Structure 1
Amino acid sequence: MPVYSMTGYASGQNGPSGSPPETDVRPLFTGRLGVEIRSVNSRFLDLTFKLPEELRQHEPALRELLTAKLKRGKVELRAAIENTAQAGITEPSTRLLQRLNGVQDGIRAWLPGARELSVADVLRLAGGDTASRGDWGPDLLDVTRKALDGLMAAREREGARLATMLKDHLAQLGKLAKQAGPLVPQLVEQQRTRFLERWQEAMGLTGGTLPEAAQDRALTEATAFAIRIDVAEELTRLASHLDEIERLVKKGGEIGKRLDFLIQELHREANTLGSKSAALELTRIGVDMKVLIEQMREQVQNIE
């Protein structure tokens, strides 16, 4: 499966709506429906809809459509109906006016108190307001599906870029871990020897000889100190986390939360490595690791 980013944008629109027959009236407006979907990173799926009054009733269907494909991210869907004047307000045909007048006379014959049609009534009945005429539901869902497909494609492209960057950072961290590996036994033995030498120097300053019990105590303290600065275990766990991250990136899908947890574990191991470091070279490696891990954290926060 591909890796998806939570960041993306897509839009879509339908063509002009149909117009009534020319025998009744020439079109006053052409309706055009537009949909925009944009998303950014979020811990959960957070949907926001900004719809005109004519489309508000379709929000449940839109929500169902989005939740079927999106799992995480702050997603905003905007929809608008644009009315484009083709030729200003055009006079309805004589045929339509005759029909409306006949209907009006018939109604007023039975209901003398009914008011007469106004110009606005005639234009509305002529079907000039395409924004409020008809059901926009099928068009809205169709355009939203196309925009959603575009959003998924954009998120997939961005996810592929993030996956490539993560793999590059994983390779760099692996190189740093290999550089640190051979230094560990050297440093442990070096610090153990240095500890014993200083112990012997301290005993020499007292003017006495180093008894066997004192030698055993010095050896025990040196060994304990060597264990405290040994980072082999941290390097082993770090390598294990790197392997798991690489496996998840290859697998794809909904991996963002697991990656975020593993990045925290990587950061913990790098911090321990730095705190135990007893050599400048190992300290430099620990700092370089933390820089790479922090860059990975920023990338992982955008992965679904």
Structure 2
Amino acid sequence: MSPISGMTGFGRADGALDGWTWTVEARSVNGRSLEVRYRGPGGFDNLERLTKAAAQGRLNRGQVTLGVQAKRAEGSEPAPRVNEAVLANYLKLANQLAEEGAVPPSADGLLALRGVIEVAEEVEDLEAHAAVEAAIAATIEQALDALKLSRQREGEQLTPVIRDFVGTIEALVARAELEASSQTEAIRERFTRRISELAPDAPGLEERIFLEAAALATKADVREELDRLTAHVDSARTLLQQPPAGRKLDFLMQEFMREANTLCSKSATTPLTGIGLELKAVIEQLREQVQNVE
């Protein structure tokens, strides 16, 4: 199993008890922090709190939506009955209106009137209700366990992709180091040629060229940026073994891009600039993958 997890996944579990049946489905997508949304049946007021606590105990990031669909088996619902007192009042009024020429009411019309049909309230056993609620809560935990497993499987797929991108960055940094080593000489040659063209007979030209070239080479020195990029590569590999790593990897991507931008701005040769641009493209691709990490 991969040490890191993704943030996209799905989990489902079913349950039944005392005439009740239910299905729990949990889904998650990417998110900067953990956000849990619950939808469930009425009458089970503790389930939302239990759901959020169970999710927080298993997950660190992502937008999680958990829904509970519950129903009672046929025959377990209380039977409807006619409220005869209310019906008698409606009939009395209807008869009075009929004597004045109104159309007599139909049976289905009377039954549709408010208060005529009612469902006798069933005194539910509180212990039985609590048992059903506890059983649903257990099923919620099963669905969240399945969701977590699904996210871990996504992590298994993400890990080699991220490692490949990190390896590509490492190779580009190595190329940049080779190219950067020739920057000082390239700057000196370019500066010498330019000064010679503008002032070939100026006194102290050789010393001036040396000083100016040294100053430009100092400004173009990218060794610190390359050292930091190498350190970031090592950090990325370490974080892949230290979950949850998503937030830290997000921050590390910013640091990667900062150094790549500085490398491009300091570059004094076209090849090094090209390496820097290629480096920025790979870092952006890596950042897209890191956004899926929990």
TM-score, normalising length: structure 1: 0.75
Partner of 1:234: 225
- Tell me which amino acid in the other structure corresponds to 1:289: L
Equivalent residue in structure 2 for 1:134, among 119, 129, 135: 129
Q: Alignment partner for residue 34 of structure 1, among 2, 17, 23? A: 23
Contact 2:188/2:209 (<8 A) preserved: no
Conserved 8 A contact 2:41-2:69:
yes
Pairing of 1:133-152 with structure 2 (within 5 A):
134-135=129-130, 136-152=132-148
**Equivalent residue number for residue 272 of structure 2:** 282
Q: Which residue is 2:93 aligned to?
A: none
- 1:83: Cα distance to partner? 4.3
CA distance in 2, matches of 1:229, 1:119: 86
1:31 deviates by: 2.9
1:218 Cα offset (Å): 2.5
Residue 198 in 1 paired to residue 189 in 2?
no
Corresponding residue SS for 1:35: strand
Q: Secondary structure at the match of 2:59?
A: coil
Unaligned runs of 5+ in 2: 80-116
SS in 2 for 1:69: coil
Q: In structure 2, what is the Cα distance between the partners aligned to 1:279 and 1:119?
A: 86
Aligned counterpart in structure 2 of residue 76 of structure 1, from 65, 82, 103: 65
Deviation at 1:63, TM superposition (A): 2.0
1:249-285 deviations in whole A, cap 9, x for unaligned? 1x23111111111110100111111222232222221
Root-mean-square deviation (CA, aligned residues, Å) is: 2.6
- 1:156 partner amino acid: Q
Whole-angstrom distance in 1 between the partners of 2:243 and 2:178:
37
Q: Secondary structure at the match of 2:43?
A: helix
Identity %: 34
1:246 aligns with 2:237: yes
Q: Secondary structure at the match of 1:82?
A: strand
Work out the CA distance in 1 between the residues paired with 2:235 and 2:278: 21
- Per-residue Cα deviation, 1:197-246 (whole angstroms, up to 9, x for no partner): 21122112xxxx3312x432332111111222222221111011001111
Counterpart residue number, 1:111: none
Deviation, structure 1 residue 5: 1.3
Distance 2:134 2:273 in 1: 63
Aligned to 1:164, which of 160, 179, 182?
160
* Amino acid in structure 2 at the alignment position of 1:216: E
TM-score by length of 2: 0.78
Match of 1:8 in 2: 9
SS across alignment from 1:36? strand
Partners of 2:267 and 2:14 in 1: CA distance: 60
Identify which range, 239-248 or 218-227, moves more after superposition: 218-227
Report the equivalent of 1:302: 292
Counterpart pick for 2:171 among 163, 169, 175 = 175
Matched, 1:210 2:206: no
- Size of the aligned set, in residue pairs, is 253
SS at structure 1 position matched to 2:3: coil
CA distance in 2: counterparts of 1:140 and 1:120, whole angstroms: 26
Equivalent positions of 1:44-123 (< 5 A) are 44-83=33-72, 85=74, 120-121=119-120
Alpha-carbon distance between aligned partners in 2 of 1:198 and 1:244, rounded to the nearest angstrom: 43
**What is the aligned counterpart of 2:253 among 232, 254, 263?**
263
Q: Take 1:185 and 1:62, find their aligned partners in 2: how far apart are those partners?
A: 58
